[in-house]
A and B are shown apart, each in its own frame.
Chain A
């Protein structure tokens, strides 16, 4: 379409101003540590008179113990069920009254709560959130109703969702000892046997200022914020946290396979390799960055390798996707998942995926492919600033994985230095059968069909 020379010039032009923009985070971000151990991070963004307020607890499903899977998420639900001062349901009513949007989410790594409000209402939500950091007080009857809600949530998201069932089995197969093998929502039997006391124990153990990071982003003055945060969160006492065992997954010694039969029309295939994540203190390790770029080379845009060859040229799969996230507390998988094209088998899809990976391992990738990905990463740095909430999310997830928000810019710079050879090297080293787990969804017809409907 255009000569290579022109393209190189163009890319150079795009690089210069963008790399400046990407490294402008530090001036408008402020970090404070309260004497009770609570960390506060404030990101100033004065484009609109709104604020996102989030509190992140470094306690996710990976901190759970056997028989009590799902308790981190159950407690997240119970956090709306009242404190000594605020009765059940009142938290949400008060946030709603000031025009706020609120919710909470639990992952393997953390549990987080947030409100978005017009800026003059920030003190209100800080006060409420700080209150439930130490004063949660729900009765057994509330727990018994809410555990049913959580069980309905599991039915909705997992039991009746074949893709979720497949992922659940994949994780439980790939990991033998790591707590990452358990689903965040918990196993159904654990939920059915959970007691209010389990949720209370979880709260007592992990909900402490020295296990929390408050992230506030938006149209705020950091000094005023610090005062409010000290006033409300500062009153909460530091406490000793339970010991976290490392629970390092032993090295995998060969290929693992699992099959899931569930109602569906097409078969699905998931291939997951054990790969390294970025470790705090080792920001110069090139491998995690190379794996991120490999992900994008395979699946970062419509003409990326797997979509082009498997969906468009060979027509062996209907959809294909690749995921990897170098930022996490626990072990990482490099996951390729696909649903079959009509008339194609899982074996054919697997062969095509392996062929595409072998080609990449043998011949490497083009400089132009990598440049394309890097440009996208840079432009995304601009786009992400359109969302205050997105900025707070990025800071929180990074901190929870044991990094500092200050590392984000360094990581982006490091990403830009990765070479095609380094991307090829991680593919050769890690995308091998020794660390591979394969999960297959074997589609089953539903017993009842839509055609049998009646009035």
Chain B
């Protein structure tokens, strides 16, 4: 143990130097094309390239009563497009992607829709993958028969999901946190049923514009090739269109009596699922770093957080328990959750609540702050050690309008966090009398 302790001490003393020990690959800003933004990180070791297009067309733009529209607009881009040589069917698109050895994936979040291409960097293959993605982005045909089929599938999936505790909990928690704000409503069988071809086309026309797109590229291409990729991707996309209403502000979770904030959902699972949380900060908020470091101590730090110690290690109440901030570009939330055997639900909720309350009131110990910084700083290279992770970082920097040297100064910003900053930030943004709580299961059994 002595030997271990000694080397731990050494690592504490040296962690400050790590950030400068290895060069962090620079992010290059690409030429602006049709109002879009483009970024590149060149990595030459592997003959492959990852390309992402972020579109400001997430779930928050779903019209009232049509939750799920943004999801379908994106998902159906795979299923038929008008290309240079006429219509490409869903089968032809799938075969082409397979023949190229490429991957093209789509995902839709609250704020943005993301299209990702992974291709070999060889020009002929890459060009075809990029051209296909460009056709998907600009010219999906939304064939009525396919729309109907995919609506049915989505509704069947939703009916299935409604039997699952995680889904029901998540849907109710989302409504509880966001209320009538844009992100409060999640897709239902009813809302999906109302979506028609015209809705899809209109949404696509309105939001899929190059001035709402950011292209991020990581891999084996140079600057000129990257600029060419951006041009090919966005060539046929209109630059702008009808004005889009400014997003409203998400009001802070209000102070409410417990009875107003806590929701119980009877559910006959063996385990109760519990979540609590409230509105918090965006990624660009200057308090992001104190909250990140503090939350490592509270519930973010894998096996060593306070929540894991209190709930799992000391009491054996749950397999998984954690807390985290979800900082977006325009809104952000804090949340904590666990699952436990039904007859322990009240006790587990009490342990989780009191652990969070104590942390907000007292902040971390000096030793905990040191351990948190040590982990985050020493572990930073693991956040950027391959193309996929680099793309995740570039994508976040671009979407959240962060400075281009964010990766270079990240560890310095962590090291600069003080005990007082952590306490002040937690007290400023979190409050137990504002926390929404959802308990699914049979808490009072």
Contact = CB atoms under 8 A, between A and B. Distances in A.
B388 A448 contact: no
B153 A341 contact: yes
A301 B97 contact: yes
B315 A145 contact: yes
Interface stretch (B62-70, B261-269, B282-290): B261-269
A407 B42 CA distance: 33
Nearest to B48: A382
Interface string B120-152: 101011000000000000000000000001001
Given A14-B101, A99-B376, A388-B385, A156 B160 contact: no
B381 A303 contact: no
Interface in A192-240: none
Given A89-B313, A388-B385, A341 B152 contact: yes
B388 A265 contact: no
A383 B48 contact: yes
B265 A50 contact: no
Contacts of A312: 90, 149
Contacts of A47: 43, 45-46, 385-386
Interface string B1-39: 101100110011001001001100000000000000000
Contact of A124 (B7, B260, B314): B7
B324 interface: no
Contact of B270 (A160, A302, A341, A372): A160
Contacts of A92: 302-304
Interface residues of A, number: 90
B371 interface: yes
Given A50-B382, A152-B318, A342-B152, A96 B304 contact: yes
Contact of A97 (B95, B339, B340, B375): B375
Contacts of B263: 453-455
A148 B95 contact: no
A378 interface: yes
A53 to B, nearest CB: 12
A318 B163 contact: no
A7 B1 contact: no
B397 to A, nearest CB: 18
Interface string B155-199: 111011011010010001000000000000000000000000000
Given A303-B95, A448-B268, A453-B266, A49 B22 contact: yes
A450 B168 contact: yes
B429 interface: no
B411 to A, nearest CB: 10
B387 interface: yes
A153 B263 CA distance: 25
B319 interface: yes
A448 B88 CA distance: 47
Contacts of A265: 156, 159-160, 162-163
B231 interface: no
B408 to A, nearest CB: 15
A1 interface: yes
Contacts of A18: 101, 120
A455 B270 contact: no
Contact of B11 (A124, A153, A373): A124
B98 A375 contact: yes
Contact of B374 (A80, A86, A97, A308): A97
Contact of A121 (B11, B264, B270): B11
Interface in B270-291: 270-271
A386 B48 contact: yes
B125 A301 contact: no
A264 interface: yes
A26 interface: no
Interface string A21-49: 10000000000000000000000000111
Contacts of A331: none
Given A96-B301, A379-B101, A453 B382 contact: no
Interface residues of B, number: 96
A60 interface: no
Counting chain A CB atoms within 10 Å of each CB, the highest count among B78, B162, B320, B379 belongs to: B379
B4 A128 contact: yes
Given A341-B152, A386-B386, A376 B162 contact: no
Nearest to B10: A124
Contact of B165 (A160, A301, A302, A452): A160
A146 interface: yes
Given A98-B11, A100-B379, A301-B98, A448 B266 contact: yes
Contact of B1 (A11, A85, A443): A85
A341 B386 contact: no
A118 B387 contact: no
A263 interface: yes
Contact of B302 (A102, A315, A375, A376): A102
B385 A376 contact: no
B312 interface: yes
A93 B371 contact: yes
A38 B263 CA distance: 55
Interface in A371-401: 372-373, 375-376, 378-380, 382-383, 385-388
Nearest to B384: A48
Interface in A90-140: 92-94, 96-102, 116-118, 121, 123-124, 127-128
A382 B120 contact: yes
Contacts of A80: 303
Nearest to A161: B164
Contacts of A93: 304, 371
Given A118-B18, A301-B98, A263 B163 contact: yes
B115 interface: no
B36 to A, nearest CB: 26
Given A94-B4, A118-B18, A263-B268, A303 B94 contact: yes
Nearest to A444: B163
B269 A160 contact: yes
Contacts of A121: 11, 378
A292 interface: no
A388 B155 CA distance: 39
Contacts of A99: 15, 374-382
A186 B380 CA distance: 37
B145 to A, nearest CB: 10
A96 B153 contact: no
B310 interface: no
Contacts of A150: 319
Contact of A302 (B1, B94, B156, B378): B94
26 contacts: A10-B99, A13-B124, A47-B46, A48-B385, A86-B4, A89-B303, A92-B303, A96-B303, A118-B382, A123-B7, A152-B318, A152-B339, A153-B319, A155-B339, A156-B271, A156-B319, A159-B270, A263-B268, A303-B94, A311-B153, A315-B152, A341-B156, A378-B101, A446-B163, A450-B267, A455-B262
Given A99-B377, A159-B271, A342-B156, 4 more contacts: A127-B7, A153-B319, A155-B270, A265-B159
